[in-house]
């Protein structure tokens, strides 16, 4: 078990290194370098100054030496400097990632919990109305672009029925009490989280219905019934855990996708997350930030994958003994 965890962490570090290497080459492929960006912010400069600056940044060295230096730099937590924001990329990321992560994780948890419950309930009456509802919901969940859904939800719940704020994450002026401030943030996050969650909820409910139907037909459920257990116990103890497993696996695998969805949702709801940062940086062609976001997003996914792996191992004892 311990060995498996270490192996998993080692693989994670290798992956992160690979992301850094990819970043390095993308940075090289990008038009212009740090010096160009610097000089552009300063309103242009002469070639001699540029050459001197390049030498001081080590940009005239061989590619592999630059790569090694870059790796060392990133592992020390230095992702470069944004001349547009006049801030280090690491600071920028640390400022924007939490919002995106909060959105991603709360949406995923909502989707997994309610998706599983919907699916389980639908499986109890596979031909009932609710089961059909799950089918239709999952079709719409598959077919609806998340950014468009966000806009429609904004139109309905912020414009026509002004129940929720339309933009941002805080009211101005902010409430005075700490509790008030937290409630205010939650109030702002309701619509974006709901937008992101509902699409995944839709697909998870269908998956959990299928796995619940499988589980309900299994031999161990027959055993549980033959032992005289109550139906509540049969469903909530013996079926739920087994039926939830495929959903948890899928949620782990889809984390990177949900992160992508969160970026779109943030753009629609103007949340100060990674989405608008990335969008703005692309418009400004601020490559250190763009690649920093890619690095941040990938490392978060890698770490989250390790965590879901561990959760999965905890849930299913069969896996523990194999690895």
- Residue 267's nearest CA partner among 251, 253, 252, 283 is 283
Query: What percent helix, strand, coil does the chain show, rounded to 5?
Result: 80, 0, 20
CB 217 within 8 A of CB 156: no
CB 273 within 8 A of CB 103: yes
| Position among 91, 282, 307, 323 found at the interface with another protein (CB under 8 A) | 282
CB closer to another protein out of 189 and 252: 252
Task: Specify the long-range contacts of residues 231-238, CB closer than 8 Å, at least 24 apart.
Answer: 235/120, 235/124
| Position among 42, 58, 126, 168 found at the interface with another protein (CB under 8 A) | 126
The whole-angstrom separation of Cα 267 and Cα 212 is: 36
Residues 161-190 that bind another protein (CB under 8 A): 166
Buried b (16+ CB within 10 A) or exposed e, 137-155: bbeebeeeebbebbeebbe
Instruction: Please state the closest distance from residue 231 (CB atom) to another protein, in A.
Output: 8
The whole-angstrom separation of Cα 136 and Cα 114 is: 16
| Position among 229, 249, 308, 312 found at the interface with another protein (CB under 8 A) | 229
CB 78 within 8 A of CB 90: yes
Residues 6+ apart with CB under 8 A from 251: 108, 111, 112, 200, 204, 308
Instruction: Please state the closest distance from residue 50 (CB atom) to another protein, in A.
Output: 21
Binding status of residue 118 toward another protein by CB under 8 A? no
Q: Could you give the 3-state DSSP secondary structure of residue 292?
A: helix
Sole window of 41-49, 174-182, 183-191, 299-307 interacting with another protein (rule: CB under 8 A): 299-307
Binding status of residue 257 toward another protein by CB under 8 A? yes
| Position among 44, 162, 173, 228 found at the interface with another protein (CB under 8 A) | 228
| Position among 206, 247, 248, 269 found at the interface with another protein (CB under 8 A) | 206
CB closer to another protein out of 22 and 59: 22
CB closer to another protein out of 155 and 182: 155
Residues 147-166 that bind another protein (CB under 8 A): 147-148, 151-152, 154-155, 159, 166
- The structure tokens listed for 96 are 């924007």
Binding status of residue 223 toward another protein by CB under 8 A? yes
Instruction: Please state the closest distance from residue 221 (CB atom) to another protein, in A.
Output: 8
- Residue 34's nearest CA partner among 17, 19, 13, 56 is 56
Which alpha helices (H) appear in 125-177, and where do they start and end? 129-143, 146-154
Binding status of residue 316 toward another protein by CB under 8 A? yes
Residues 32-91 that bind another protein (CB under 8 A): none
Sole window of 2-10, 52-60, 65-73, 132-140 interacting with another protein (rule: CB under 8 A): 132-140
Sole window of 26-34, 48-56, 69-77, 174-182 interacting with another protein (rule: CB under 8 A): 26-34
Binding status of residue 297 toward another protein by CB under 8 A? yes
Q: Could you give the 3-state DSSP secondary structure of residue 131?
A: helix
CB 38 within 8 A of CB 50: no
- Residue for token pair 């299994």: 218
| Position among 2, 3, 6, 29 found at the interface with another protein (CB under 8 A) | 29
Sole window of 1-9, 72-80, 141-149, 169-177 interacting with another protein (rule: CB under 8 A): 141-149
CB closer to another protein out of 2 and 127: 127
CB closer to another protein out of 154 and 251: 154
């Amino acid at each position: 078990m311990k060995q498996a965890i270490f192996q998993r962490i080692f693989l994670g570090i290798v992956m992160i290194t690979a992301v850094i290497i990819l970043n390095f080459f993308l940075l090289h492929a990008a038009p212009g370098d740090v010096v160009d960006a610097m000089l552009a912010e300063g309103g242009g400069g002469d070639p001699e100054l540029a050459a001197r600056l390049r030498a001081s940044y080590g940009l005239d060295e061989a590619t592999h030496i630059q790569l090694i230096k870059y790796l060392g730099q990133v592992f020390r937590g230095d992702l470069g400097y944004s001349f547009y924001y006049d801030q280090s990329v690491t600071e920028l990321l640390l400022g924007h990632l939490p919002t995106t992560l909060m959105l991603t994780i709360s949406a995923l948890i909502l989707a997994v919990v309610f998706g599983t419950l919907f699916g389980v309930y639908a499986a109890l009456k596979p031909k009932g109305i609710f089961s059909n509802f799950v089918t239709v919901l999952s079709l719409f969940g598959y077919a609806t672009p998340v950014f468009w859904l966000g806009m429609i939800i904004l139109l309905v719940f912020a414009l026509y029925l002004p129940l929720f704020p339309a933009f941002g994450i805080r009211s101005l002026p902010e409430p005075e009490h700490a509790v008030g401030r937290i409630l205010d943030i939650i109030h702002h996050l309701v619509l974006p989280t709901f937008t992101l969650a509902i699409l995944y909820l839709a697909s998870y409910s269908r998956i959990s219905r299928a796995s619940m139907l499988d589980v309900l037909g299994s031999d161990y459920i027959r055993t549980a019934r033959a032992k005289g257990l109550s139906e509540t116990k049969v469903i909530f103890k013996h079926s739920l855990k087994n039926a939830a497993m495929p959903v948890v696996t899928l949620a782990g695998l889809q984390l990177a996708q949900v992160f992508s969805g969160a970026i779109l949702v943030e753009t629609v709801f103007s949340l100060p997350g990674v989405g608008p940062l990335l969008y703005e940086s692309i418009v400004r062609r601020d490559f250190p930030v763009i690649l920093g976001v890619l690095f941040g997003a990938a490392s978060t996914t890698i770490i989250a994958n390790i965590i879901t792996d561990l959760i999965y191992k905890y849930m299913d004892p069969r896996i523990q003994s194999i690895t």
